[in-house]
């Protein structure tokens, strides 16, 4: 009886030990390493709600939040039950005090450069929400600082974490649809005011200086980012664009609709970015010599290889570290992946900024802009 009792106790101990090890492994981030420590810079971008939700769930370690507007500090403190000790009005002082692994930018696009100017001399890498900057000139300054101080500057797009787009990319690279001939990206929604964006978000999103444009920058960057990726970081030969303002009463200072044509040596890209869609949309069509792929949304892919050879499938979920921005950032900072040639990379996003800059010049002059 004693032996049997001892056996049960030993088995119970092993069960508890296993659960402890399991919980410990889950609490750690990719490759069994502790999560990176991050500082959030700015609270005026509505995407900040995502990272703060992750913080509340224990999925990210935020060691500080820099936001000059104390009312915004109080707003988010109440929503997410954040301690006052987490907040600061001065980013540089916060970084010197907390010494984080990286800074996440959730401020106006036109102020991304200010974050990098503070972080780069301190050797702290940065990930900002798309696009990289409001203007090409700002992007070039960011690139120069990143090169000088040897830091990573990454750009986060919602679509980077779409399994459907990864599936399309892999299928194209296998040669399953032949050489790409045409790409079409539709991105946008009914409009930032229409979908209920916060006042602090709207104040810069609809400002031509702080956002760099309207829908052209806000949603044109998605198509430019994905097409640059599909074309293996090759620049287009030329860019032609038109912008419209269908709702001047709502958006008097910026465009609310943009159509951008990218010319490649053997392919054409069409980017349709708008705040005038009847619904939210982020999809991609790729026409090859022998087949067609349509990433209908985050997960669904429609294919067509012959007149009557049609298919539809759900993409395989992404694996770490390609499935989440924080897990990806951790892998880059820990030198597990390079982060130099993908959709988040500075290399890709400098080309994105060239495309957006050319599109704005084309729309303003009515001319085709040769890069």
Domains of the chain: 31-157 (3.40.50.720), 159-320+335-370 (3.30.360.10)
The reported pLDDT for the residue numbered 148 is 98
Count of CB atoms situated within 10 Å of the CB of 207: 18
The reported pLDDT for the residue numbered 33 is 60
Peptide bond into 321 cis (omega under 30): yes
Residue 54, pLDDT > 50, answer yes
Comparing 21-30, 66-75, 206-215, 305-314, the range with the smallest average pLDDT is 21-30
Model confidence at 20, pLDDT cuts 50, 70, 90, reads very low
The reported pLDDT for the residue numbered 223 is 98
Model confidence at 310, pLDDT cuts 50, 70, 90, reads confident
Model confidence at 307, pLDDT cuts 50, 70, 90, reads confident
**Mean pLDDT, all residues of the chain:** 92
Helix (H) or strand (E) holding 311: strand 309-314
User: Which residue has 């995502």 as its token pair?
Assistant: 50
Residue 238, pLDDT > 90, answer yes
Model confidence at 2, pLDDT cuts 50, 70, 90, reads very low
154-176 pLDDT, tens digit each: 999 999 999 999 999 999 999 99
- Cα distance between residue 325 and residue 332, in whole Å: 10
Comparing 15-19, 152-156, 283-287, the range with the smallest average pLDDT is 15-19
342 SS3 class: coil
- What are the residues whose beta carbons fall under 8 Å from the beta carbon of 117, sequence distance 6 or more? 145
The reported pLDDT for the residue numbered 35 is 85
- Cα distance between residue 296 and residue 298, in whole Å: 7
């Amino acid at each position: 009886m004693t032996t049997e009792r001892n056996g049960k106790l030993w088995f119970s101990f092993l069960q508890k030990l296993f659960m402890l090890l399991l919980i410990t492994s889950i609490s750690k981030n990719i490759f069994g390493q502790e999560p990176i420590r991050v500082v959030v810079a700015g609270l005026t971008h509505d995407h900040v709600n995502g990272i703060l939700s992750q913080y509340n769930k224990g999925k990210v370690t935020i060691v500080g939040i820099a936001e000059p507007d104390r009312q915004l500090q109080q707003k988010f403190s109440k929503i997410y039950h954040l301690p006052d000790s987490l907040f600061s009005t001065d980013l540089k002082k916060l970084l010197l005090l907390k010494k984080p692994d990286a800074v996440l930018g959730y401020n106006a696009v036109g102020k991304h450069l200010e974050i990098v100017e503070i972080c780069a001399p301190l050797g702290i890498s940065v990930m900002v929400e798309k696009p990289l900057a409001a203007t090409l000139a700002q992007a070039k300054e960011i690139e120069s600082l990143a090169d000088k101080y040897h830091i990573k500057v990454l750009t986060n797009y919602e679509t980077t974490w779409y399994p459907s787009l990864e599936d399309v990319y892999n299928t194209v690279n296998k040669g399953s649809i032949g050489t790409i001939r045409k790409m079409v990206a539709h991105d946008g929604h009914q409009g930032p005011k229409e979908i209920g964006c916060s006042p602090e978000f709207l104040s810069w999103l609809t400002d031509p200086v702080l956002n760099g444009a309207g829908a052209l920058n806000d949603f044109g960057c998605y198509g430019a980012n994905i097409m640059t990726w599909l074309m293996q970081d090759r620049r287009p030969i030329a860019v032609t664009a038109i912008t419209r303002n269908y709702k001047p009463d709502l958006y008097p200072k910026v465009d609310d609709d943009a159509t951008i044509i990218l010319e490649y040596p053997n392919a054409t890209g069409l980017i349709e970015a708008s705040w005038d869609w009847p619904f939210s949309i982020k999809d991609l069509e790729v026409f090859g010599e022998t087949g067609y792929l349509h990433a209908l949304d985050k997960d669904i892919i429609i294919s067509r290889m012959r007149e009557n050879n049609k298919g539809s499938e759900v993409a395989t979920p992404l694996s770490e570290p390609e499935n989440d921005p924080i897990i990806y950032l951790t892998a880059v900072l820990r030198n597990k992946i390079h982060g130099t040639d993908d959709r988040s990379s500075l290399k890709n996003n400098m080309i994105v900024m060239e495309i957006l800059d050319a599109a704005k010049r084309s729309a303003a002059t009515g001319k085709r802009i040769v890069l």
